Structure 1
Amino acid sequence: MKKDIEIPPVTGVFIAAVREENKEFRSMDWNAYLINDKNVPLEMVLIVTRGYDEKDSTSTMRHTIKVLPAKSFAKIEFMEDSVLRLNNEFLVTFFEGNTMFEKKFLFPGNSIKATALTNIPVINKKGILAT
């Protein structure tokens, strides 16, 4: 039964790590964002995140977004410096109309760093896109 479910490839949806100033704590923090670069909204978005390597892992976190409008973005979570050495995985599932989409995004260990910044679509800030 499961093999009969068709899930089309995901395009126009990204996960980005963006380094931003936290004025309250006077620090520079990494935050993960979900980006919808499509011309249609994403509905019933479920994001499951975890960090891991051969010997360590973080708790699994779950986030939901009811609707992410077209050409918009939403902050998912703060990424503490201690987890940046881990592989950080984001499993994103959503509906576009009546079709379900799913994609696993990954920041390999130590890939989130200030020297790897690029322009991020829609947000118009510098950051790193997950693969």
Structure 2
Amino acid sequence: MKKDLPDNNVKDIAIAVALERESSESKIWYVYLINLKKEIIENVLITSKGYGEKNGEQVKTSVLRHMIPKVESQGYALIEPIDEATFGLNNEYWLSYYLDGNIYDKKFIFLPESIIESNFIKLPVLNKPGVMIL
């Protein structure tokens, strides 16, 4: 039963969309996992998908799955590149990982139009401009 499961709250883990490079023709964006913990996290699984409404029609992107063997303390891992065309959708990242033999999971959702310059911060660990969900 759900009540029998341990309360494994995800803390000090972030998903960030970073502006990698910018030219007069285009911008290059990447999605990262940032581990702000003092411990290594292992067997990291991430599923990503986009969904929502565009031009009055329901839109869904493919579901992508990523496996990262470990992310060092105060480290980061590249998840995937992301296209600006999806910024008008919900961009969902479902994260699962192991820490000290226990499994943790959390869903991170970038809402439509939340990846905009007025929401940019200097991303910790990466030292790049972007948007982060902690």
TM-score w.r.t. the length of structure 2 is 0.88
1:42 aligns with 2:45: no
The superposition leaves residues 91-110 of structure 1 with CA deviations (integer Å, 9 ceiling, x where unpaired) of 00000011111011110011
**d(CA) in 2 for partners of 1:106 and 1:80?**
16
The equivalent of 2:127 in structure 1 is 124
SS at match of 1:115: helix
The equivalent of 1:4 in structure 2 is 4
% identity of equivalent residues? 35
The equivalent of 2:89 in structure 1 is 86
Choose the corresponding residue for 1:109, options 101, 109, 112: 112
**d(CA) in 2 for partners of 1:110 and 1:100?**
32
**d(CA) in 1 for partners of 2:60 and 2:113?**
15
The equivalent of 2:19 in structure 1 is 19
**d(CA) in 1 for partners of 2:85 and 2:26?**
15
The superposition leaves residues 44-84 of structure 1 with CA deviations (integer Å, 9 ceiling, x where unpaired) of 00000000014111000000000111110011111111111
CA contact (8 A) 2:41 2:70 kept: yes
Amino acid aligned to 2:85: S
Aligned length: 129
Q: CA RMSD in A?
A: 1.7
CA contact (8 A) 2:20 2:128 kept: no
Unaligned runs of 5+ in 1: none
Once the two structures are TM-superposed, the CA of residue 2 in structure 1 deviates from its matched residue by 4.9
TM-score w.r.t. the length of structure 1 is 0.90
SS at match of 2:60: coil
CA contact (8 A) 1:7 1:100 kept: no
The equivalent of 1:60 in structure 2 is 63
Amino acid aligned to 1:43: E
SS at match of 2:115: coil
